[in-house]
Amino acid sequence: MIRFNGIYYRYRPGAPPALDGAAFNIRRGSVHGLLGPNGAGKTTLISILAGLRPLQDGSITIDGEPLAVWRAARPNAIALVPQDYAFYPMLTVAENLDFFAGVQGIARKQRRHNCLEAMRFARLETVAQRRADELSGGLRRRLNLAIGLTGAPEILLLDEPTVGVDPQSRRFLLEAVRQFAAISRRTVLYTSHYMEEIETVCSDIAIVDSGKVLAQGPLSEVKGGQNLEQVFLQLTRDSAWE
């Protein structure tokens, strides 16, 4: 279980908090959706879990261990797949994968194995020798995802992974996420603006607004028999009024 407890984060002294006591749990082996309007605090939460921002207050534990301790023992266990195409356009697909595996300190033999696995998973074998800037939008998204898999992570953080892709590529990516989580104890934290994506791929969700978690739990419980979009709009509107 990944437990977020009373997470508080402020970008600058005096600024309103980006996270204001956020608390929720993620079951290991689940695909957990993080829903919220722009500026709700989703990216800040993901950044803290990825180690990009320090924890100012509150605690995060993974399987009972503090985040820092857990990560120190498993340096490559959390991977972030950002919304941007965060790779090198002048390198080929294979070179990009090899580079991102290399900077995680993975030795040559293991790196080769991991890269092949990631390439196979994202179905990039046929374009392995093509430069990244020659790929279509859908293939770039797949490369972005494949890079996240080069370290064979246990926890995958996906930040809006389907922005700007065609329906076929979106379907492929969603299927890939489900397959990834199907392997024992692999966990996905998935942020998206698309309700149908969340409903398709996630087993649990947390709805975040103004730095607070408004609802969390299994998707069916949060929905309570209603349409997810209705629930989301109702909760976030209430939050805005408050």
Partner 1 sequence: MLIRLAALWKKECLALARDRHGLAALFIMPTVFILVMSLALADSLSGQRNATLAYATLDLDGTPVSRALDEQLSATELLNRQVSPPSEDDARSQVETGRLAFVLIIPQGFARQIGANQTPTLRFLVDPAIPGMVRNGFRQHVEAIVIRVWLAHVLEHLGQSMMLPELHRVTGRVGAPDIVLESVTHGGSGGAPLALPSAVQQNVPAWLIFSMFFVVIPISAVFIGERQRGTLQRLRAQRVSFGLVLAGKFAPFVLVNQLQAVVMVAIGRWLVPLFGGEALTLPDGAGALAALWLLSLAVSAAAVGWALLIASLARSSEQATVLGGGGNILMGAIGGIMVPRFVMPVTMQPWTRLSPMDWALEGFHHVMLRQGNVMDILPAAFMLACFGLATLIAASLLNHRISRA
Q: Are 87 and 143 in contact (CB under 8 A)?
A: yes
In sequence order, which residues have a C-beta less than 8 Å from that of residue 226 and are 6 or more positions away? none
Element (H, E) at 137: helix 137-149
Out of 26, 98, 190, 208, name the contact with partner 1 by CB under 8 A. 98
> Encoding tokens for residue 113?
């194995």
- The vertex-118 CA angle with 134 and 44, nearest 5°, equals 85
Q: Give the CA radius of gyration of the chain.
A: 18
Out of 106, 139, 146, 158, name the contact with partner 1 by CB under 8 A. 106
Q: How many Cβ atoms from other residues are within 10 Å of residue 215's Cβ?
A: 19
- Site for partner 1 contains 66 (CB under 8 A): no
Q: Are 11 and 60 in contact (CB under 8 A)?
A: no
Out of 6, 39, 66, 75, name the contact with partner 1 by CB under 8 A. 75
| Beta strands, E only, 15-147 | 19-26, 31-35, 57-62, 65-66, 78-81
Q: Closest approach of Cβ 88 to partner 1, in Å?
A: 6
Nearer to partner 1, 23 or 94 (CB): 94
Q: How many residues bind partner 1 (CB under 8 A)?
A: 33
Dihedral angle over CA of 64, 68, 72, 73, nearest 10: 0
- Site for partner 1 contains 67 (CB under 8 A): no
What is d(CA 60, CA 93) in angstroms, rounded to the nearest whole number?
35
> Encoding tokens for residue 91?
């390198």
> Encoding tokens for residue 220?
């069916």
Out of 23, 91, 94, 219, name the contact with partner 1 by CB under 8 A. 91
- Site for partner 1 contains 87 (CB under 8 A): yes
- Site for partner 1 contains 103 (CB under 8 A): yes
Q: Closest approach of Cβ 216 to partner 1, in Å?
A: 24
Sign of the Cα pseudo-torsion (44, 50, 56, 59, in order)? positive
Out of 26, 78, 122, 188, name the contact with partner 1 by CB under 8 A. 78
- Site for partner 1 contains 9 (CB under 8 A): no
Out of 15, 73, 107, 183, name the contact with partner 1 by CB under 8 A. 107
- Site for partner 1 contains 17 (CB under 8 A): no
Q: Closest approach of Cβ 49 to partner 1, in Å?
A: 9
Which residues within the stretch 175-234 sit at the binding site for partner 1 (CB under 8 A)? none
Nearer to partner 1, 107 or 183 (CB): 107
- Site for partner 1 contains 95 (CB under 8 A): yes
Q: Are 159 and 43 in contact (CB under 8 A)?
A: yes
Q: Closest approach of Cβ 148 to partner 1, in Å?
A: 9
Residues that bind partner 1 (CB under 8 A): 11, 50-52, 75-76, 78-80, 82-91, 95, 98-108, 147, 151
